[in-house]
Structure 1
């Protein structure tokens, strides 16, 4: 009976970890789209890294990462109709560490679009996808909570780097099964 109990405990722990990680990844769009820097600071490790690839600036350290979404340019993007949409993440659990691979769409209100009516939903000029990126989230459990050690995001731009990031997430998952 103890062996069954231990197996059940282990399965429950995996489920709880994955749910907590889903919540962590799902919290990114609302925190970015509201510039809720205190929340952002609460989910990164003190020495966390936010890497946006070669063509966009990133941030290092929790204070710099949290300040990233307080920039006037970010506020301008929010006021312009910015919305982040994340895809369901692929989670590779490794005890007190995890690697998460996911997609993120950055959507913007299309102020120059043609006005269209949608029954029961009013009139809108629509939205456009500004960018799609792939993410690699490297997480660690601290004091019972999952936190971000490093986040790397790369634009889906036809180059090999984002494709390799996605393939690495799948290969890691296979290797750790």
Structure 2
């Protein structure tokens, strides 16, 4: 098993199997700050992980979705799991869109404790956000072992780099 595959196995163990993960999701503001620089925004969201992608339900008109529409590059950290990285945010559309028919039940199951309280599926602005991981770092044994993962090419790489 390659180190990349070892890292994937750790991610699956910590975040997979239908688990409701809390991730801190960072986007870049649409307007620059007072100095003209990009301003990061971060918020915690519940996310379902499967095959290199985090999925969450959200409102299409939310600040995060407006920011992702302008700049789809995001950063994330899985709370308490020693797993963080970057990805591309993608609006998959309305949760009841037929193209989401296979994914929706997985989200409903993972988020069963709160899904109906937080989501109005009749509203076409109730959407699924996919966060497709491009680069990640996984720590093991309190950082004694580190996996730097390039999800684009499916390999372990130097810290923070995609080959």
Tell me, yes or no, whether TM beats 0.5.
no
Higher helix share: 1
Superposition TM-score, scaled by structure 1 size = 0.30
Higher strand share: 2
Superposition TM-score, scaled by structure 2 size = 0.31
